[in-house]
């Protein structure tokens, strides 16, 4: 009985914590999203009150978790934060079923959590998700093209500052080209996506990726170390982005990560070989 009460207190803490998270997200949202989030928050508080009747104690929310999800919602968007939070609730399903043997009300709360709330989450509208394809395009192209180019530059030029400058110039030029291409593509296709918006998100994703990959060459004088740090940054970008996609699309993170890693680093390896051979064959050094 004591163990069950401890588990219920964890449920109680989770409900009041998510109540505060959803209330914050509702304050940052407008119109339909605001109404949906306030409804979810009300449900969480009702669940908290049900558990409180059983435990007979008030439980404080987890402030660290509130801060984490608020930060994630600001950095990665409303939908990402909510889906990640709901993914965590799915892992608690087994515990709910165990408690339901003693307290049948847990079964009703479980149904509410995984049916009603998931339905509301699926209805969340977020503008930036309309342009997810454009973000994928910009980021993926920048990763593949720039990791390959920097690998080739590194072993052809062997000068960090020159490599960084060449990568930066190429990255900026390529981002402008991608913006123009995406604008014209969306304008010709029509649809509900703004050509300017698609162009903007593609360009921003490309430029941010360029900055993440190029900066080591302006910091480290040894070109090999700079290239290694750049690859680590590329790995970090791939990890964060594929995790974001896997949460939003509810897809397999490991498969997406392995695929993107293989493509980006595969191109980098081929470019490394080409740059090394070109340097020896042409006899050009910088």
**Do 139 and 265 fall within a single domain?**
yes
**Do 181 and 240 fall within a single domain?**
yes
pLDDT band per the 50, 70, 90 thresholds, residue 224: confident
Percentage of residues of the chain with pLDDT beyond 70 = 80
**Do 11 and 76 fall within a single domain?**
yes
Structure tokens at 258: 């392995």
Q: How far apart are CA 228 and CA 127, in angstroms?
A: 36
Whether the CB-CB separation of 113 and 87 falls below 8 Å is answered with no
Per-residue pLDDT, averaged over 215-243, amounts to: 89
CATH number of the domain within which 104 lies: 1.20.1260
Instruction: Tell me which of 41 and 198 has the higher pLDDT.
Output: 41
User: Is the pLDDT reported for residue 171 higher than 60?
Assistant: yes
Dihedral sign of CA atoms 78, 83, 89, 91 in order: negative
Give the number of domains in the chain. 2
**Do 169 and 255 fall within a single domain?**
yes
pTM for the full predicted model? 0.74
Range of the domain at 17: 2-125
Indicate the DSSP class of residue 284.
Answer: -
Please spell the DSSP secondary structure of 42-59, one letter per residue. HHHHHHHHHHHHHH-S--
Q: Which of 47-61, 226-240, 252-266 has the lowest mean pLDDT?
A: 252-266
**Do 278 and 145 fall within a single domain?**
yes
**Domain boundary pick from 125, 159, 183:** 125
Distances (CA, A) of 93 to 3, 54, 55, 185: 17, 19, 20, 45
Return all residues near 164 (Cβ < 8 A) that are at least 6 apart.
214, 215, 216, 217, 218, 226
pLDDT digits (tens, 9 = 90+) for 4-32: 677 788 888 988 998 999 898 888 877 77
Q: Which of 136-145, 222-231, 256-265 has the largest mean confidence?
A: 222-231
């Amino acid at each position: 009985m004591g163990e069950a009460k401890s588990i219920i207190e964890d449920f109680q803490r989770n409900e009041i914590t998510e109540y505060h998270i959803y209330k914050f997200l509702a304050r940052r949202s407008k119109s339909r999203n605001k109404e949906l989030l306030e409804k979810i928050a009300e449900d969480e508080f009702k669940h908290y009150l049900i558990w409180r009747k059983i435990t007979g104690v008030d439980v404080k929310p987890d402030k660290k978790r509130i801060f984490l999800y608020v930060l994630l919602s600001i950095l990665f968007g409303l939908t990402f934060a909510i889906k990640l939070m709901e993914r965590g609730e799915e892992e608690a399903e087994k515990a709910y079923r165990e408690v339901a043997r003693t307290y049948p009300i847990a079964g009703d709360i479980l149904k509410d959590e995984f049916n009603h709330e998931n339905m509301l989450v699926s209805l969340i509208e977020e503008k930036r998700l309309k342009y997810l394809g454009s973000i994928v395009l910009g980021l993926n192209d920048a990763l593949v093209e720039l990791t390959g180019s920097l690998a080739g530059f590194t072993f052809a030029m062997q000068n960090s500052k020159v490599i960084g400058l060449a990568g930066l110039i190429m990255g900026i030029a390529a981002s402008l080209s991608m913006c123009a291409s995406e604008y014209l593509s969306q304008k010709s296709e029509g649809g509900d996506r703004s050509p300017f918006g698609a162009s903007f998100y593609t360009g921003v994703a490309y430029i941010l990726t360029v900055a993440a990959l190029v900066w080591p060459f302006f910091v480290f004088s040894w070109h090999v170390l700079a290239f290694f740090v750049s690859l680590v940054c590329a790995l970090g970008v791939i990890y964060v982005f594929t995790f974001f996609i896997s949460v939003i699309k509810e897809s397999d993170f490991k498969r997406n990560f392995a695929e993107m890693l293989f493509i980006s680093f595969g191109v980098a390896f081929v470019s490394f070989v080409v740059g090394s051979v070109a340097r020896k064959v042409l006899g050009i050094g910088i």
